[in-house]
Amino acid sequence: MPKATFFNLPNDKRSLIISAAMKEFSNANYDAASINQICKNSNIAKGSFYQYFTDKLDLYVYIMTLAVEEKIKFFSAIISEFHTLTLLEQIRLLFRKGVEFANKHPEYAALGEQFSKEDNELAKLAVTKEGNKQAESLFIQMILNAKTKGEIDSSVDSLALSLLLQSLYGAVNKYIVGKLENASYEYNEEDINSLVDSLLNIIFHGIQNKVD
Amino acid sequence: MPKATFFNLPNDKRSLIISAAMKEFSNANYDAASINQICKNSNIAKGSFYQYFTDKLDLYVYIMTLAVEEKIKFFSAIISEFHTLTLLEQIRLLFRKGVEFANKHPEYAALGEQFSKEDNELAKLAVTKEGNKQAESLFIQMILNAKTKGEIDSSVDSLALSLLLQSLYGAVNKYIVGKLENASYEYNEEDINSLVDSLLNIIFHGIQNKVD
DNA sequence: TGTGAATATGACCACCTGGTCACATATTAT
DNA sequence: ATAATATGTGACCAGGTGGTCATATTCACA
């Protein structure tokens, strides 16, 4: 956690530092990100930085935690009403909400995309230790729940389906972040949503021709 | 391409350099990988390195090209007999061959996994420009072919299915490389293959319960 | 106005990077 | 043996890194 001095800072100065750090950590991985750059872009001296944070890792964990909290806040509303929905509806909502989140908070989405590629084990561990990793088991819970309700075929391998959904969710995010990086590209949320629908349609109904 | 001097080297010295470079580039991304380390691990002087390669990028592209060539050689046999197989058989073969490749050449697999996370645009571009990127359009070709043969439902979104297969292929590779890194873990190729079968079963038949 | 605590600062440190270059050593051809 | 060419070498360079610290400034309270 940042030191008390950091939280005593005037709001605009503090948020300037945060946004500079977010920008740096979404453009470079942990080791490549530069504290010097963050200082330069937020107009603070190197010495000041170390009055706010104990070290680089301290800042990194703080920034990533902010992103996670924002995402949880964004998703909490829909998760609470999951029990009223079918698995298909749950998954579609999850994916669409993910698209919406990336659209509304591209900085956080870019941060997450960068984190998914992170090499530095220390940095990865520090972040996952801090945040609750409920997300990774969410799919499994949903799948098991749907099985008991008889919504999906019991012969389906739960682990495989979870892996499939996770990798697909990651792919969609990566796709969106890639689009958003191209400022020139005209981004269309509806196009992505119809792609998501196509994907879910495949997963739920399969691709094999039933006529033969 | 490396300079002539490099290819004049005695075989064992040359392959020592190659293996040291492969090790470095599979443990760190392009920017983080260290030429000093490669020199140290292959017992050559810094000056010698620059008699063999024009610069870091030269070595990087060379190493990645070796990996791509090895993979193409490995897959060429099965691709040539694709026309005798159904889409399901093609995809299953592709995935299984991928698992086998990662098992037989873990160094190359780790290299590919690292490349998929590569941040440095220059390095990425230099590699993709060199190698033929036939792989990325392979799935699309297979899908369109299967559609004309009526093997899969024509309403299936080809692009979405291709994205799904690609991301799944990447996820499986990542999964395997992760397992292989844990030397302690007892690796079982059959377990992975049955996971692949579960995944393909989902894609071909869907997960929705047909009883309701 | 004075005093002590909080905060701001940038020169500095040790260490690393990719790349260069003058020089030393082999190898080969004459 | 001599000359010419090909290789090997490591000190060195400019420029970057995360982190430190003595000092200067600002602030709050008496």
* Mean pLDDT score of chain A: 93
Residues of B in contact with A201 (CB under 8 A): 156-157
pLDDT > 70: percent of chain A:
95
Q: Are B150 and A212 inside 8 Å of each other by CB? A: yes
List Cβ neighbours of B48 (8 Å cut-off, separation of 6 or more).
B39
Helix, strand and coil in chain A, % to nearest 5? 75, 0, 25
Q: Tell me, what's the pLDDT at A211?
A: 57
**Average pLDDT score over residue span A45-73:** 97
Q: Tell me, what's the pLDDT at B149?
A: 95
Cα–Cα distances (Å) from B182 to A142, B170, B176, in that order, read: 30, 19, 10
Dihedral sign, Cα of residue B176, residue B178, residue B180, residue B183:
negative
Q: What CATH number should be reported for the domain holding residue B25?
A: 1.10.357.10
Specify if A147 maps to a domain.
Answer: yes
Q: What is the pLDDT of residues A159-195, one digit of tens each?
A: 999 999 999 999 999 999 998 887 766 778 888 999 9
Separation between Cα atoms, residue A79 and residue A164, nearest integer Å: 20
Residues of A in contact with B32 (CB under 8 A): 31-32, 119
Residues of B in contact with A164 (CB under 8 A): 164, 168, 171, 199, 202-203
Q: Tell me, what's the pLDDT at B188?
A: 81
Specify if B191 maps to a domain.
Answer: yes
Specify if A125 maps to a domain.
Answer: yes
Torsion angle of alpha carbons A79, A83, A88, A94, nearest 10°? Answer: 0
Q: Do residues B101 and B93 make contact, with C-beta atoms less than 8 angstroms apart?
A: no
**Average pLDDT score over residue span A184-212:** 85
Q: Do residues B136 and B160 make contact, with C-beta atoms less than 8 angstroms apart?
A: no
Helix (H, G, I), strand (E, B) or coil at B152: strand
**Average pLDDT score over residue span A35-42:** 98
Separation between Cα atoms, residue A204 and residue A152, nearest integer Å: 9
- Is residue B143 within a helix (H) or strand (E), and if so which, with residue range? helix B134-148
More confident residue, A67 or B137: A67
| Tens-level pLDDT at each residue, chain B (212 residues) | 999 999 999 999 999 999 999 999 999 999 999 999 999 999 999 999 999 999 999 999 999 999 999 999 999 999 999 999 999 999 999 999 999 999 999 999 999 999 999 999 999 999 998 776 666 689 999 999 999 999 999 999 999 999 999 999 999 999 999 988 877 667 788 889 999 999 999 999 998 876 54
Interface of A with B (CB under 8 A): 28-29, 31-32, 88, 117, 119, 150-154, 156-157, 159-161, 163-164, 166-168, 170-171, 175, 195, 198-199, 201-212
**Which of B88, B92, B116, B167 best probes binding to A when mutated, by most A CB atoms within 10 angstroms?**
B167
Which among A156, A199, A209 is the nearest to B160, CB-wise? A199
Separation between Cα atoms, residue A202 and residue B137, nearest integer Å: 20
Specify if A212 maps to a domain.
Answer: no
Distance from CA of B168 to the nearest CA of A (A): 6
Q: Tell me, what's the pLDDT at A108?
A: 97
Specify if B211 maps to a domain.
Answer: no
Specify if A18 maps to a domain.
Answer: yes
Which residues form the domain of A135? Answer: 4-205
Q: Which two structure tokens, joined as six digits, stand for A2? A: 């940042």
Q: Do residues B99 and B78 make contact, with C-beta atoms less than 8 angstroms apart?
A: no
Nucleotide D21: closest residue by CA–C1':
A47
Number of domains in chain A: 1
Q: Are B28 and A119 inside 8 Å of each other by CB? A: yes
Specify if A124 maps to a domain.
Answer: yes
Band (pLDDT 50/70/90 cuts) for residue A135 is low
Q: Tell me, what's the pLDDT at A189?
A: 84
Q: Tell me, what's the pLDDT at B134?
A: 64
Number of CB atoms found within 10 A of residue A8's CB:
9
Q: Which residue ranges have CB below 7 A from strand C?
A: A 4-5, 8-9, 13, 44-48, 50-52; B 33-37, 46-47, 50, 55-57
pLDDT > 90: percent of chain A:
87
The whole-number Å distance from A21's CA to C6's C1' is 24
Phi, psi of B121 (to 5 degrees): -65, -40
Specify if A168 maps to a domain.
Answer: yes
Query: Which range is least confidently modeled, A10-14, A80-84, A129-133, B29-33?
Result: A129-133
Q: Which residue ranges have CB below 7 A from strand D?
A: A 33-37, 46-47, 50, 55-57; B 4-5, 8-9, 13, 44-48, 50-52
Q: Do residues A35 and A56 make contact, with C-beta atoms less than 8 angstroms apart?
A: yes
Helix (H, G, I), strand (E, B) or coil at A152: strand
